[in-house]
Amino acid sequence: MTVGIVGLGLIGGSMAKAFRENTDHQVLGFDANTAVDGFAQLSGIVHGELTETTIPSCDLLILATYPAAAKEYLVKIAPNLSHNAIVIDCLGTKERICELGFALAREHGFIFVGGHPMAGSERSGIKFARADLFEGASMVLVPPDGNDILLLQRLKELLNPLGFARITVTTAQEHDRRIGFTSQLPHLISNAMVQSPSAMLHSGFSAGSFRDLTRVAELNSRMWAELFLENQENLIEELDVLLSSLGQYRAALAQRDSEGLQSLLEAGSRRKKEISKQ
């Protein structure tokens, strides 16, 4: 089997390494950065370069690049994909890429499936790629038909070498709604928090809570800006809920309302316990 991977950063590079180490598949890669392309080949992360000539040989093509670049690339190579080849994207949002991917798949005869590996690191780039990145993690899939059992079984077999512990099937709309809260909002909060002047004075006065809350602040600004804007409505909705909640805490503090503040804190503590049981 031939696997093509577009985008050889942390996610794409880790997938290439996993396929190389756990299978005898032919792994081809492409990255817009020619230096990354060359490094991936010289270091043996991929067998060779993914080109317009080799794309028709791919049984599985994985898009692991920025949203705009992924859509542009898919439009360009869709006519060259073999019939019944499977294309899976790894973008952090699903509605727009799935709308495009499903349409192109119907037109050209390949199979498009939205995907989002729920694994990563605060570090980006191929030098941080590792074959075990996805072990024990969840893979979210958005197939064209969530009831196509044969396709879902085929996808599980194709992705098995990556080590995912769980496959979650959903719709593009539901994915983006949930990810706006579980991923995008925390990244935004973390990035905003370190912009306080107090952040520069944390040394000697911070422990685990500061570290945990700011772990993902050092992000890829170009990629996350694209993802935030693609999921604009859901993210704004979550921000509004958060700002309203923070307003209640601020009001209790400003009014020196000990009882009200304690009530808010207790409610949050109870909710965390409920979440932890899931």
Structure confidence at residue 206 (pLDDT): 81
Structure confidence at residue 194 (pLDDT): 95
Beta-carbon neighbour count of residue 242 at 10 Å? 14
Element (H, E) at 88: strand 86-89
What is the residue whose two structure tokens read 């959903």?
Answer: 170
pTM as predicted: 0.91
Residue 101 clears pLDDT 90, i.e. is over it: yes
As a whole number, mean pLDDT of residues 138-149 equals 95
As a whole number, mean pLDDT of residues 87-110 equals 97
Length of the chain: 278
* Ramachandran sector of residue 163 (left: φ over 0; alpha: ψ -120 to 50; beta: rest): left
Structure confidence at residue 122 (pLDDT): 65
For 166-177, what is each residue's pLDDT tens digit?
999 999 999 999
For 54-90, what is each residue's pLDDT tens digit?
999 999 999 999 999 999 999 999 999 999 899 999 9
Give 180's DSSP letter. Answer: I
Structure confidence at residue 112 (pLDDT): 98
How many helices (H) and strands (E) are present in the chain, helices listed first? 11, 8
